[in-house]
């Protein structure tokens, strides 16, 4: 009886964890829907503003850049959602581990004598539970089945696809989805030109993280980033690996203040920011934000401007 009560308590705890995981997954999907809706609205507004200029090469280039940025932002939203659902999947799997088998009463030492003419008692196959001790779901109920209303661990991606109509991009294709042009649209509607494709892609990816909370040591896009986590992630998505620590990101070639281009890095002893153009840089404040280009930062030593792509 005590073992049965303990098992019931364990199942109740598992059910609570499954319900919490389902709620968290639903909230993550809702957040992604809102962010994707905002991306679509911004793109449509910018495309409408560019409509009178689409008969010119410059107008078409600007529209293409807007589309590339929208795709990059959407990819970042999906990546963050995938990370959230991966966390909930781990919780679901932990909560659906089959319980320890119930104890089986010992076999009687001796059987009562059988009367002449009476049918012989059926022999119970080895390992089959005694009647009344077969578990909570019966002989045919799988012990790892999720409670009603809870999506099994293997079904999160399918459920998300059903809800959103989206497909998961493979990590290797995310940088390609961000586009390959040198023109980079900024949030204020202006367009800047990067010195090369890698720098342009790095800026596009960095801009998708505007509004993401600051997290010391953070390296997860859409969730939390620190200053060097932001710049390292953006360049990694563009295909270039740079060091993790801010003071070690003075890589590539030094750049004079008058020659700054999108993708260049402003490096301090304990901080780093990425130049995006038009006198602005993106940095992981709290949250990730655009700021005027500067060379001072809370008394830290300034190591200069650097172009990682050389």
Q: Provide the 3-class DSSP secondary structure of residue 90.
A: helix
Ordered by where they begin, the domains of the chain are 1-104+146-176 (no CATH), 180-310 (3.90.1720.10)
Smallest CA-to-CA distance from 177 within 95, 269, 77 is with 77
Question: Distance from first CA to last CA of the chain, Å, rounded?
Answer: 73
Within 10 A of 182 (CB to CB), how many other CB atoms are there?
Answer: 17
Residue 71's pLDDT band (boundaries 50, 70, 90)?
confident
- Say which DSSP state 53 is in: G
E strand or H helix that includes residue 265: strand 265-268
Model confidence at 177, pLDDT cuts 50, 70, 90, reads: very low
Give yes or no for a contact between 80 and 221, defined as CB atoms under 8 angstroms apart: yes
Q: Using DSSP, state whether 21 is helix, strand or coil.
A: helix
Smallest CA-to-CA distance from 262 within 217, 225, 308 is with 308
pLDDT of residue 125: 43
- Show the tokens assigned to 237: 């998505």
Instruction: Assign 3-class secondary structure to 158-201.
Output: HHHHHHHCCCCCCHHHHHHHCCCCCEEECCCCCEEECCCHHHHH
The three-state secondary structure class of 155 is helix
The predicted structure's pLDDT at residue 19: 76
Rounded Cα distance, 248 and 253, in Å: 13
Using the predicted structure, report yes or no on whether residue 117 has a pLDDT greater than 80.
no
Q: 7-59, pLDDT tens digit by residue?
A: 666 666 667 777 777 888 888 888 888 889 889 988 888 888 888 888 888 77
Question: If you average pLDDT over every residue of the chain, what do you get?
Answer: 76
Contacts of 87 (CB under 8 A, 6+ apart): 24
Q: How many helices (H) and strands (E) does the chain have?
A: 6, 10
User: pLDDT tens digits for 124-157?
Assistant: 444 443 333 333 333 333 333 343 333 343 344 4
CA angle 87, 89, 90 (to 5 degrees): 70
The H-assigned helical ranges of 51-165 are 57-95, 156-164
- CA of residue 21 relative to chain centroid, distance: 16
């Amino acid at each position: 009886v005590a073992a049965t009560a303990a098992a019931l308590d364990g199942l109740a705890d598992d059910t609570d964890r499954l319900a919490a995981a389902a709620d968290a997954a639903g909230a993550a999907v809702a957040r992604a829907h809102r962010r994707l809706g905002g991306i679509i609205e911004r793109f449509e507004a910018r495309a409408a503003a560019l409509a009178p200029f689409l008969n010119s090469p410059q107008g078409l280039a600007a529209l293409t850049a807007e589309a590339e940025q929208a795709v990059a932002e959407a990819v970042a939203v999906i990546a963050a959602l995938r990370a959230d659902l991966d966390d909930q999947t781990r919780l679901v799997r932990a909560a659906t581990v089959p319980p320890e088998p119930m104890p089986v009463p010992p076999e009687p030492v001796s059987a009562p004598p059988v009367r002449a003419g009476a049918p012989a008692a059926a022999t119970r196959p080895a390992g089959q539970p005694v009647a009344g001790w077969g578990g909570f779901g019966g002989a045919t109920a799988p012990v790892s089945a999720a409670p009603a209303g809870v999506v099994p661990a293997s079904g999160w991606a399918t459920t998300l696809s059903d809800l959103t109509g989206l497909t998961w991009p493979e990590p290797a294709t995310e940088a390609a989805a961000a586009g390959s042009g040198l023109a980079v649209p900024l949030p204020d509607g202006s367009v800047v030109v990067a010195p090369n494709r890698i720098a342009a892609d790095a800026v596009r990816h960095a801009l998708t993280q505007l509004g993401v909370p600051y997290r010391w040591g953070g390296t997860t896009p859409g969730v939390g980033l620190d200053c060097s986590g932001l710049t390292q992630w953006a360049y990694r998505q563009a295909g270039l690996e740079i060091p993790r620590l801010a003071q070690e990101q003075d890589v590539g070639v030094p750049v004079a203040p008058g020659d700054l281009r999108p993708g260049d890095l402003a490096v301090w002893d304990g901080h780093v920011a990425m130049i995006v153009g038009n006198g602005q840089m993106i940095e992981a404040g709290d949250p990730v934000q655009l700021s005027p280009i500067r060379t001072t930062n809370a008394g830290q030593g300034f190591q200069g401007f650097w172009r990682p792509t050389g």
